[in-house]
Amino acid sequence: MRISAGCQITYDCPQPTPMLLMISPHPSRLPDMVGPHRVTFAPPVEPREYTDGFGNTCTRILAPPGRITITTQLLVEDSGVPEEISPTAWQRRVEELPNEMLVHLLGSHYCDTDRLSNTAWALFGQTQPGWARVQAICDFVHTHIRFGYEHARPTRTASEAYAEGVGVCRDYAHLAVAFCRCVNIPARYCTGYLGDMGTAPPYGPMDFAAWFEVFLDDRWHTFDARNNTPRIGRILLARGRDATDVAIATTFGPCTLSGFSVFCDEAKILA
């Protein structure tokens, strides 16, 4: 199957404003691209791309005073098969982990492991290490947090999501990542597109999605505490320690978000 995805974001800037954007597909998805990834800016600006320390493709622009609209569109080939489940995936002891995995055990801005460590061990310390423990974390987070866009708050940490019991997909991911790190499972936060392919209606408003990956049996596996079921057609944009590292747009100056839309749908192929 082919999936068409993209977004349109509009800002009003009272002055020239530097911006850092995460709007390009992750390099791991490039082999699946059908044609180029289209990005336009109105009015035109000169974008500069670089690869960050997590391997994400980042775009820098200087938005001029006034209104700027950022539009992206991509088309990818996808297997149409739900994500793999690996119940026998095993967990390495901390002392056996590769050096580059240790950063994914540490607390970060939104994944405040120091406030959740005792809770994590009390809740999950008796579960089977490996896949079963991660699934137990997902099951708990999925039922503990009540989803609602009215509950969105960009400053909410994992411990606050646990205490408040409400949030959006980033809160589910932050809490699950924090719990995994607390019980010595390397975990990283992911963002990208996730359409409704393979799910039953009614469908909610489309937005960017947040999920996470864990390092088990010496490779990364995808988990999604918000949906808590294998999905079809996930399109990765960026990975990092938490939402700080993978924000779709980071602005360095005063500006107002005045328009935002996201789409991700199966593309109809004409015979």
Mean pLDDT, range 141-148, rounded to an integer? 97
pLDDT of residue 201: 83
pLDDT of residue 238: 98
The answer, as to whether pTM is greater than 0.85, is yes
pLDDT in tens, 21-57: 999 999 999 999 999 899 999 999 999 999 999 999 9
Residue 173 has pLDDT above 60, yes or no: yes
Radius of gyration of the chain (CA): 19
Residue 269 has pLDDT above 90, yes or no: no
Residue 188 CB-density burial (10 A; 0-12 exposed, 13-18 middle, 19+ buried): buried
pLDDT of residue 166: 98
pLDDT in tens, 205-246: 899 999 999 999 999 999 999 999 999 999 999 999 999 999
Mean pLDDT, range 168-191, rounded to an integer? 98
Residue 271 has pLDDT above 60, yes or no: no
pLDDT of residue 203: 83
Polymer length in residues for the chain: 271
Give the confidence band of 270 by pLDDT, cuts at 50, 70, 90. low
pLDDT in tens, 86-142: 999 999 999 999 999 999 999 999 999 999 999 999 999 999 999 999 999 999 999
Give the confidence band of 151 by pLDDT, cuts at 50, 70, 90. very high
Question: From the DSSP assignment, how many helices (H) and strands (E) are in the chain?
Answer: 4, 14
pLDDT of residue 232: 95
Kindly list the distances between the CA atom of residue 159 and the CA atoms of 113, 179, 189, in Å, as whole numbers in the listed order.
8, 10, 16
Closest C-alpha to 240, from 21, 54, 1 = 54
Give the confidence band of 268 by pLDDT, cuts at 50, 70, 90. confident
Structural domains of the chain, with CATH = 2-79+248-266 (2.60.40.2250), 94-240 (3.10.620.30)
Residue 188 has pLDDT above 70, yes or no: yes
pLDDT of residue 200: 85
